[in-house]
Amino acid sequence: MATASLRRIHLDSFKSFQREHLDLAGVTVLTGRNSAGKSNALDAIEVLARLADGDDLHEALDGRGRDGDGVRGGARGCAPHRENTFSLGCTASVGKDLYRLELTVEVEPVLRIVRESLWGPAPAAESRKVESHWLMVTRPSDQSHPGLSAEIYNGKRGPNPIQQFRDDRLLTLQLAARMNTKHRVEAAVLRGAEAVTSALRGAFHLDPVPHLMRGYVPERDVLLRRTAENVSAAVHRLETDDPAAHAAVTAAVQRVTDRQLRSLVSVVSPLGDVMLGVDEGVSGDEPDITPAREMSDGLLRFLAVATAMRTAGQRLDIDALQSLTGVEPGVLLVVEEIENGLHPAQADHLLELIRGAASPPSTRILITTHSPALLNALTGELNESVVVCYRDAATGHSRLSRAIDLPGYVKALAAGDMGDAISRGQLVAPRTETRDLGALAHLIGRG
């Protein structure tokens, strides 16, 4: 199986973004002032992931069929102010092949897809020469007729065949039922569709909710959910199925706790439910168990993050549809404000956890942070992973820039670490200054 990985999120016209993109490295650290647009970028990933999971537009955006759990602001909130459409997309990779999905959704008067395209490599029917083409591209929509028509690449000279699709869900996802994998060109089109949808389904936004993590959960509920409400079962299963991962999670928790922690333990009820605990070892040889229901919010949240980081490749609650072309989803683990609940002195331990989890192409990490301590702990090439989100002073739109590309980066770091510079109000938006590229190479560990 080949792994499909998200490489770029296109924010063409989405919420506060216009003609912007977010590149995703092995580790991407997104920072910026409040209301700069960081959460809007994460919302774009969530929208695409829900659509790739098969949800129709109403389910994905407004939460119909999801117990009211829509994206922030619903469908209307995805469109920029005073506009009735939004546009976004992604670039995914499978090996050396790149595929790009582009999507425009109309939110008023009717919620519907009005444009969609898929770009990627495919062979010509006769010569079999492989080049990149529009594998699928919609024709202008006609509101007087239901659905949407699209051209599908067939590798032949002349016009491509046109097919009709539903306009309330991803057309790319609908291709699976129409392509013959025994046909070389159609298999290439389907591979492109599976590349982008598989990569998007691998996006896992971890948002631990401590009060949901304090109770007993079924012992068999072992794939970690986005709320981490079943972290007790997930960690308990590691003890038998993956002792090395269990030991790594235990060691991570030991490093961030103030008191001596012997081990993570699990209490299993007669009904097959389990609750996690920590043996703090303060009473000699006798166990001194603190159960999950008594743990602090910060410890529970860190436990969820550590478990997700150490098991991201195989033990997260991610829907992976059966592939017809041998493509499986890589994981993009997203954690917002990852430092919440942790003392600044633990930044090095948190960064060590992040480094250990990132393993492109199978696992990529995207975090947001306001923590000067965490940013100060970044060294070497990880400095290149920092993306600053800010508002354009002239337009009010959200913009994204690598920190090292901001004018003034070298001067700011010459006076201290990155987190300190941001605390001083530097590296939060572009300023016109001369850059010393030789000093830059030295500061990021390449000189």
The pLDDT tens digits of the residues spanning 110-152 come to: 999 999 999 999 999 889 999 999 999 999 877 667 899 999 9
User: Bridge partners of 367?
Assistant: 29, 335
Q: Could you give the domains of the chain?
A: 2-202+319-405 (3.40.50.300), 213-311 (no CATH)
What integer pLDDT is reported at residue 205 of this predicted model?
Answer: 96
Judged against a pLDDT cut of 60, whether residue 299 lies above it is answered with yes
Q: Percent of the chain at pLDDT above 90?
A: 68
- List pLDDT tens digits, range 150-177: 999 999 999 999 999 999 999 999 998 8
- List pLDDT tens digits, range 215-244: 999 999 999 999 999 999 999 999 999 999
> Given pLDDT bands bounded at 50, 70 and 90, which one contains residue 446?
very low
> Given pLDDT bands bounded at 50, 70 and 90, which one contains residue 64?
low
Give whole-number Cα distances, 420 to 32, 115, 251, 424, in Å. Answer: 14, 45, 29, 6
> Given pLDDT bands bounded at 50, 70 and 90, which one contains residue 438?
very low
- CA 348 to chain centroid, in Å, comes to 23
Identify the CA nearest to 363 among candidates 331, 339, 395, 334. Answer: 331
Dihedral sign for Cα atoms in the order 343, 347, 353, 359:
positive
What integer pLDDT is reported at residue 198 of this predicted model?
Answer: 96
Question: Distance between CA 164 and CA 209 in Å, rounded?
Answer: 43
Question: Distance between CA 358 and CA 382 in Å, rounded?
Answer: 12
Phi/psi class of residue 262: alpha, beta or left (left: φ > 0; alpha: ψ in -120 to 50)?
Answer: alpha
Give the pLDDT mean for 373-400: 91
The angle subtended at Cα 206 by Cα 173 and Cα 371, nearest 5°, is 130
- List pLDDT tens digits, range 3-41: 999 999 999 999 999 999 999 999 999 999 999 999 999
Lowest pLDDT segment from 147-151, 253-257, 366-370: 253-257
**What's the predicted TM-score (pTM) here?**
0.91
Judge if the upstream peptide bond of residue 109 is cis by omega within 30 degrees of 0.
yes
Identify the CA nearest to 258 among candidates 239, 280, 279. Answer: 280
Residue with tokens 């119909």, as numbered in its chain: 64
Phi, psi for residue 173 in degrees, rounded to 5: -70, -25
Question: Distance between CA 288 and CA 159 in Å, rounded?
Answer: 74
Question: Distance between CA 426 and CA 415 in Å, rounded?
Answer: 11
- List pLDDT tens digits, range 309-352: 998 878 899 987 778 888 999 999 999 999 998 888 888 889 98
What integer pLDDT is reported at residue 284 of this predicted model?
Answer: 62
What integer pLDDT is reported at residue 443 of this predicted model?
Answer: 42
CA-based R_g, the chain, Å = 24
- What b/e readout covers 330-340, taking b as 16+ CB neighbours within 10 angstroms? bbbbbbbebbb
- Mean of the per-residue pLDDT values of the chain: 90
What integer pLDDT is reported at residue 431 of this predicted model?
Answer: 66
What integer pLDDT is reported at residue 287 of this predicted model?
Answer: 76
What integer pLDDT is reported at residue 133 of this predicted model?
Answer: 94
**Residues near 322 by beta carbon (within 8 Å), at least 6 away in sequence:** none
What integer pLDDT is reported at residue 316 of this predicted model?
Answer: 92
- What b/e readout covers 414-432, taking b as 16+ CB neighbours within 10 angstroms? eeebbbbbbbeebbbbbee
Judge if the upstream peptide bond of residue 161 is cis by omega within 30 degrees of 0.
no
Give the pLDDT mean for 87-105: 98
Judged against a pLDDT cut of 90, whether residue 270 lies above it is answered with yes
- Helix runs in 318-371, H state only: 347-357
Dihedral sign for Cα atoms in the order 101, 87, 111, 317:
positive
> Given pLDDT bands bounded at 50, 70 and 90, which one contains residue 109?
very high
Give the pLDDT mean for 190-218: 96
> Given pLDDT bands bounded at 50, 70 and 90, which one contains residue 296?
very high
Question: Distance between CA 211 and CA 221 in Å, rounded?
Answer: 18
Give whole-number Cα distances, 15 to 71, 203, 399, 423, in Å. Answer: 12, 20, 12, 27
Q: Percent of the chain at pLDDT above 70?
A: 94
> Given pLDDT bands bounded at 50, 70 and 90, which one contains residue 435?
very low
Determine the 3-state secondary structure of 188 from DSSP.
helix
Judged against a pLDDT cut of 60, whether residue 441 lies above it is answered with no
